[in-house]
Amino acid sequence: MSDSIFTKIINHEIPSTILFEDDDFIAIKDIYPKAPVHVLIIPKKAYESLEAVELEDDAFYAKLLKTTRLVAKNLGISENYKLFMNVGKEMQDVPHLHLHLMGGFDKEKQNSLFSE
């Protein structure tokens, strides 16, 4: 797999608004937000999509969700947020696994977000 834009962000080769970073994950602001708070949670290990992660890798899945919850808490949206992930070449704009964390909108907007 060739380096994606996310790999370049992880390596600090191109700028991004980094909201969280540790040894395994980085969280950045989405440049095309669909909500008042729209963050991408990206593993530093370059998995092409969720299907590239071994089903038995419980530690990865746990750390992904733990990191997401921590970022949501740090952003003040831990009581109400949405998570979604695109999987596969037909769905992903960037071939590097990432989870969308979205929040900060009122309930009416939240309910209509995916109905279009």
pLDDT (tens digit, 9 = 90+) per residue, 64-109? 999 999 999 999 999 999 999 999 999 999 999 999 999 998 765 5
Tokens encoding 19: 């909201």
Q: Where are the domains of the chain?
A: 5-112
Q: Which residues contact 108 (CB under 8 A, 6 or more apart)?
A: none
In the prediction, which pLDDT does 83 show?
97
The closest of 74, 83, 73 to 110, measured between CA atoms, is 83
Topology of domain 5-112 in CATH is: HIT family, subunit A (3.30.428)
Q: Model confidence at 3, in pLDDT bands (50, 70, 90)?
A: confident
The sign of the CA dihedral 28, 32, 38, 42 is: negative
pLDDT (tens digit, 9 = 90+) per residue, 35-57? 999 999 999 999 999 999 999 99
Q: How far apart are the C-alpha atoms of 5 and 13, rounded to whole Å?
A: 9
Q: Is residue 83 helix, strand or coil?
A: strand
Q: How many residues does the chain have?
A: 116
Q: Mind telling me the catalytic residues?
A: 98
Q: How far apart are the C-alpha atoms of 27 and 99, rounded to whole Å?
A: 9
